[in-house]
Structure 1
Amino acid sequence: MHELFINRKGSMSQNVMMAVGFDSIIHFVITGWGGFAADSTVLRWALENTDFFIPNGK
């Protein structure tokens, strides 16, 4: 299982996406993307597979 968390430089890593509002409150967190994944890939997955949304397309 730990092989999934090896990044392109050979180190262990994990990606985390966190959405923080203008009120400084954390509204959404997703973890578990091991290794290396593009930011857009994680964002697209969150938009398609969870209740996360971007209000007014911003």
Structure 2
Amino acid sequence: MHERFINRKGSMSQNVMMAVGFDSMIHFIVARWGGSAADSIVLRWALKNTDFFIPNSK
């Protein structure tokens, strides 16, 4: 499992995505991505596999 958290520079890291509202409250957090991952990949995973959603701004 140690290898999962090695990033592209060879050190240990973990990616965390948080959604914070205008009320400064944390509404959603995902902290399962070890190593290097693009922001769009983590966002796409959260939209597909959890109840996280981005409301329309209409």
Q: TM-score, normalised by structure 1?
A: 0.95
More helix by share: 1
Structure 1's unaligned 5+ residue stretches are: none
2:52 aligned with 1:42? no
Aligned residues: 57
What is the CA-CA distance between 1:13 and the residue it aligns to?
Answer: 0.2
Q: Once superposed, what is the RMSD of the aligned Cα atoms?
A: 0.8
Counterpart CA distance in 2 for 1:49 and 1:32 is 13
Structure 2's unaligned 5+ residue stretches are: none
